[in-house]
Amino acid sequence: MRAPRPAVFIDKDGTLVENVPWNVDPARLRFHPGALAALTALAAAGHALVIVTNQAGLAEGRFTRAEFDALRAALETRLHDEAGIRLAGFEVCPHAPAPDGTPACICRKPAPGMLLRAAQAERLDLAASWMVGDTLDDIEAAHRAGCRAILLDTQGETLWRRGPGREPDALVSHWDEVLDTILARHAAPAATRQVA
């Protein structure tokens, strides 16, 4: 049995790809600048790559599971064909939020369920792992799972509801900075690492 390995959990819409609301058209997938190069380098450094994405459109009937699965397959194919990236996991929350906007399940971010599920399935070291997302819900999910978290400011966060567990370990505006932040902390001696 292999030892647990660190992961980088990646939000899909607004972080990995440009946010096109309710999109299931593979032709409209656009990677954020620098994302593929950064993920390639992180994988080469030994990080498992796992997408974790809220998809309330499934519960709301905005698209079908078959349509979303086709988008997912196209995304994974492009990751591999364009950058040689193979994901260790792809976790989806298909549930709608409660009427007040809070999660009505254990997997919708800011709940940590998708990260915990992936960690168990793939033997991931959560304390050595990172989450990269464009909202404070991503940050909270990471911290509740025991990971560190980077807010990639692509204008996805609009409410800025601060609170316990919602302060990012780093705030950046480009994937190059994501890469530099994770590699710098990963290379630090264990005794000096700051775990959220």
Which of the residues are catalytic? 11, 13
Task: Provide the b/e sequence for 139-176 (b: ≥16 CB within 10 Å).
Answer: bbbbbbbbbbbbbbebebbeeeeeeeebebbbebebbe
DSSP, collapsed to helix, strand or coil, labels residue 155 as: coil
- Structural tokens at position 149: 């978290």
